[in-house]
Chains A and B, each alone.
Chain A
Amino acid sequence: MPLSRTFLADLERLVGAGGLVRSHEGRLVYESDMHTFYRGAPDVVALPIRTDQVVAIVRLCRAEHVPIVPRGSGTGLIGGAMAPHGGVMIGMNRMDQILELDLPNRCATVQSGLINLSLTRAVANRGYFFAPDPSSQMVSSIGGNVATNAGGPHCLKYGITTNHVLGLELVTGTGELVRLGGKVADRPGYDLTGVAVGSEGTFGIVTAVTVRLLHAPEAVRTILASFAAIEDASEAVSAIIAAGMIPAALEMLDEMMIRAINEGSGAGYPKDAAAVLLIELDGPVGEVMAQGQRAAQICWERGALEVRVARDDVERALLWKGRKEAAGAVGRLAPTYLLQDAVVPRSKLPAIMREMIAIGARHRVRIANVFHAGDGNLHPLILYDDRDPEELERAKAANEELLHACITMGGTVTGEHGVGLDKAKNLPLQYADADLNFMYRLRRAFDPDAMMNPGKLLPSHPACGEGFRPARPRVPEGAWI
């Protein structure tokens, strides 16, 4: 059912004609986030610049029972920022101001549309940084990071987004503006900030975020180690952790991924290696030097072909540029891919890598790997060509099998990308009915009419007792739900 003319006129009054995208062509480009497998165009996109506009839009939508989908930069990997049921998409990217920098108290309050890296850039010359560093950080918004509780390479040592969020300004599904948490830690009562981080827009829309800023470490050492076999690299990861070190980051890339990245950013990863480890240590100089030597030694003992230390900041930046652009470079390998985000206990890494090779062979699909080895968070990219329906089926089968293998080994369905539309169906693998029902009820407390980002995070089928029904079920052409 298309939106009524009066509704659109009301919306236009709130954000102006320049704040609305109504054309077919304009709406179409908002139909997917980075996971283009899922498509669902909104009926209209609103691009507010102020919090009061967001409040008014939510109230208007609530009165008319129109679903709302929040969107940041649209870089998510789970089909979170797309509109399977149409409705109003609220793009937060124009709300990108730093509202307050409070360096003595090491925190900042920013509008949720601010690009993650922009915050670090704004405070870097004063010796601070914002720790959560999803690979998309040069474009993804802090609001989007909060929504998915994003992780990143350096979360191994520093923790994920939730560990760095002190407070939120949230417009709930009822159109109320509430402040959760705040600058001062240890506030009385419920930790609602913790509850809301990772809620993927199903509680409402985050308009501002108060985040922790950290002092930049005294020294950083980035080591690149290459291996002839992916198992050797996996063994080295386990050994480094077992030795009592907590590197700032511990990343692995396989041969296929190395090739794609080298073609692109020219990161200069070794060409003939089956796997590359990127090990970063930071902290006081003495500690970093000592741990760097120990880590290098472990790599040699596990049969490394090459171990080298980035000579300077330029080389270090290039090594990281390659790593962070990995998912974006996959276009060099295949036009489409399925991306897993499953986690296994670190000790199972060698086993799951062997299993993955077997699964790829069984289903005749190529699987490229780039992942956070340090915390066992896998990102296998199962490559396929979507013009070949039979290959798509094989890719999907491999994807499911891989997910089940991870869970069998004691892992989880998603590490850091979130659930979205993509993993909602997998949640029952992880949670009992009682757990899911409790989550439904929690969601209702924030969004009683179930109009915030419907179809995402929680499974939409009523198999779990208390079914969740979107306000206006409608499946647009091309949607996969």
Chain B
Amino acid sequence: MTSAFRGAGAPDVDEIRKCVHCGICLPACPTYRVLGEEMDSPRGRIYLMRAAAEGRVELSETFQRHLDLCLGCRACETACPSGVRFGSLLEATRAQLRRHGPPPKHRLLEAFAFALFPEPARLGAALAAFRLYRASGLRALVRATGLLRLAPALGAMDALLDEVPRPVPLPELVPAHGRVQGRVGLLTGCVQRQLYPQVNRDTARLLALAGYEVVIPRAQGCCGALELHAGRVDAYSARARALAAAFPDDLDFVVTNAAGCGSAMKEYGHGLPEIASFGGRVRDVMELLAGAELPLGRIDLTVTYHDACHLAHGQRVRQEPRELLRRIPGLKLVELADSDLCCGSAGVYNLLEPGMAGELLELKIARIVETGAQVVAAANPGCLLQIAGGCRQRGLDVTLVHPVELLARAVDAHTR
């Protein structure tokens, strides 16, 4: 029996065989939680990969469907006692499907998403157009006609976006405050810089307060995470190399505030050894801030924290954001049940699979309502968009913020 995987970059069979079929990953998997079907669980997906490697299944449409439905949240990696690196297996399998499998189900939509999101300039232009669409009253018209119901993906996008902020220009260098701890680069991201520019501004400010000199190269592009997760390996590699080249070599750390980007960048070395040392220097902003003294004033708020998948599962950063939030005087942090269950955002997943994304959003919002929190903190722009959109649609008075925004407000409160 010959393998259904062909050529270079096939999923690592030894990694597949590390799965001993114990099933501990099942309750952690969002799609298994919703569907209760083995083939939409990590154990089932790994078994399908194994069957493909053994030539027992083809890269069929059904096979593709079960792989497509995976959010790539990597909750199964946190659960797995044998340490199976599911994310890498998924990326390699998706790359195989792209080369040798049936045509992608959402070809046009995907082409659109990949032409837009990893291109900050295009995304900026598109969002400027959206600002117009919203302000001109065209949105009300489109919504009234029910046009969006005909195109669920566009409907999903329309629901996600509310206000589009004006760009916040950042300097190329932010000097350190006080004693210098080190010199770091800041990734401004694609969606982050366009939709959450204040998060980048607050990140730079807090890092400076923590004693870091912050370098923000203008020329930086996309980190390639979206493409990596979709199995678009060539585009990913090109973007990753270009990004690494855009940052100077003398940085102590390269800082991200978007979990998806950070997770992909930390793992650059897996497929691209030439930029492994760059990947080794990547840190989430909260990892650096956790070790710093920050002048924090009082904010009286009840806050809950949602674990972005690629921070909790991809980077194993769970305690730092919670500890930082707890340090803010007056802030009451309440734990969110299933805080590390995916909210359904997952990169462009909510556009490609609005059904499953919606089910998961529903679960997430139900848990948020239970906490009674006024504010939900999450450290990834995709989660912020998805959960904020869901709250808005349900008329809930819940504000979504990145943890650095709360920290920056606390700093303001201290100086005031």
Contacts and interface: CB of A to CB of B under 8 A. Distances in A.
Interface of A: 21, 23-26, 28-30, 32-34, 36, 45, 47, 73-75, 91, 93-94, 115, 136, 138-140, 261, 263-265, 325-332, 335-337
Contact of B20 (A23, A91, A330): A330
A127 B155 CA distance: 47
Contacts of B83: 263-264, 331-332
Contact of B36 (A23, A34, A93, A326): A93
Given A28-B47, A331-B19, A94 B24 contact: no
A323 to B, nearest CB: 11
A139 B33 CA distance: 12
A136 B62 CA distance: 30
26 contacts: A21-B37, A21-B38, A23-B62, A25-B63, A28-B56, A30-B38, A34-B20, A34-B21, A91-B36, A136-B23, A139-B22, A261-B81, A263-B83, A265-B81, A325-B24, A325-B81, A326-B81, A328-B82, A329-B81, A329-B82, A330-B20, A330-B82, A331-B17, A331-B82, A335-B14, A336-B17
Contacts, number: 105
B66 A73 contact: no
Interface string B17-43: 111111110110000000011110001
Nearest to A385: B17
B48 A25 contact: yes
B23 A139 contact: yes
Interface in B65-101: 66, 80-84
Contacts of A136: 22-24
A125 to B, nearest CB: 12
Closest 6 pairs between A and B when the two form their complex, measured CB to CB: A331-B82, A328-B81, A328-B22, A325-B81, A335-B17, A329-B81
A34 B43 CA distance: 10
A34 B48 contact: no
Contacts of B47: 28-29
Contacts of A327: 20, 22, 81
Contacts of A140: 23
A332 B19 CA distance: 9
B32 to A, nearest CB: 9
A101 to B, nearest CB: 18
A450 B48 CA distance: 32
Nearest to B36: A94
Nearest to B26: A139
A21 B23 contact: no
B66 to A, nearest CB: 7
Contacts of A332: 18, 82-83
B216 to A, nearest CB: 36
A26 B62 contact: yes
Contacts of B27: 115, 138-139
B376 to A, nearest CB: 23
B44 interface: yes
B129 interface: no
A293 B51 CA distance: 53
Contacts of B81: 261, 264-265, 325-329, 331
B86 to A, nearest CB: 12
A264 B57 CA distance: 31
Given A26-B39, A29-B48, A335-B20, 4 more contacts: A24-B57, A29-B38, A45-B38, A327-B81
Nearest to B22: A328
Contacts of A91: 36, 38
Contacts of A94: 36
B11 to A, nearest CB: 15
Nearest to A32: B21
B60 interface: yes
A24 B61 CA distance: 11
A28 B22 contact: no
A233 B4 CA distance: 49
Given A28-B57, A29-B44, A47 B24 contact: no
B18 A335 contact: yes
A139 B22 CA distance: 9
Contact of A25 (B26, B60, B82): B60
A139 B24 contact: yes
From B17, B23, B57, name the one whose CB has the most chain A CB atoms within 10 angstroms.
Answer: B23
Nearest to A115: B27
Contacts of B80: 264, 328
Nearest to B14: A335
Contact of B23 (A24, A75, A326, A330): A75
Nearest to A381: B20
Nearest to A18: B35
A29 to B, nearest CB: 4
A23 B51 CA distance: 14
B36 A264 contact: no
B134 to A, nearest CB: 37
B237 to A, nearest CB: 29
Interface in B347-389: none
A39 to B, nearest CB: 10
From B38, B60, B66, name the one whose CB has the most chain A CB atoms within 10 angstroms.
Answer: B38
A32 B21 CA distance: 9
Given A32-B21, A74-B23, A331-B83, A47 B62 contact: no
A255 to B, nearest CB: 18
B20 A331 contact: yes
B51 A28 contact: yes
Contacts of B23: 34, 73-75, 136, 139-140
A266 B236 CA distance: 33
A138 B27 CA distance: 8
Contacts of A36: 20-21
Contacts of B36: 47, 91, 93-94
A73 B26 contact: yes
A480 to B, nearest CB: 15
A95 to B, nearest CB: 9
A108 B36 CA distance: 23
A21 B21 contact: no
Contact of B84 (A23, A33, A138, A331): A331
Contacts of B14: 335
Given A325-B81, A329-B81, A329-B82, A25 B62 contact: yes
A112 to B, nearest CB: 14
A29 B14 CA distance: 19
A34 to B, nearest CB: 5
Nearest to A24: B57
A93 to B, nearest CB: 5
A326 B84 CA distance: 15
A136 B79 CA distance: 12
Contacts of B20: 34, 36, 327-328, 330-331, 335-337
Contacts of B60: 25
A224 B372 CA distance: 40
A400 B240 CA distance: 54
Contacts of A138: 24, 27
